[in-house]
Every structure is written in structure tokens, then in C-alpha cells.
Amino acid sequence: MDRVDAVTENLPAVFAGAVFLLFGGCLLVWTCVRIALGVPVAEGARTGTAAALALLFSVSSLGLGLWCFGRI
């Protein structure tokens, strides 16, 4: 396989991994700041449930991003 084929096949994994890592990192920072300030994570939702779900989705997104980069 030549160099162009390798780049063409790996580019979607790099893009998806970067998107997942960026989203997961931003969501994790945003959620931690909201919890530290004592303000609601989501309007109209119970604080503990909203924080737990936001942390779950951020860690899952970070894990997916690492998995995408691991497939390269």
C-alpha cells in the first residue's frame, strides 16, 4: 500500500477521533466548572442525574476518540 492510500484510509479515523476528543474534553471541562460553581448542569433536571449523565457522555466520548486513534 502506498502513502496516498494510507492517508486516504486513515483520514476518517483521525477526523472522528479529533471530533470525539474535542467534544468529550469540552463537555468534561464544562460539566466540572458547572459543578464547582454550584450551578445546574441542565435546566429543569435534577443536579445529580444531569451531572452523572454529562460525565458519562464525556468520558464515553473521550474513550471513543482514543479508540478511533488506536485504529490507525
Sorted by where each begins, the domain ranges of the chain are 3-70
> Residue 2 — very low, low, confident or very high, per pLDDT cuts 50/70/90?
low
Report pLDDT for 62: 95
Contact 62, 25 (CB under 8 A): yes
Listed residue (21, 42, 22) closest to 31, CA to CA: 42
**Which triple of cell numbers denotes residue 53?**
449523565
Q: What is the pLDDT of residues 36-69, one digit of tens each?
A: 998 988 888 888 899 999 999 999 999 999 998 8
Q: What is the pLDDT of residues 26-37, one digit of tens each?
A: 999 999 999 999
Provide the 10 A C-beta neighbour count for residue 55.
Answer: 16
Listed residue (23, 24, 20) closest to 58, CA to CA: 24
Report pLDDT for 12: 86
Q: In terms of C-beta density within 10 A (0-12 exposed, 13-18 middle, 19 or more buried), how is residue 29 classed?
A: exposed
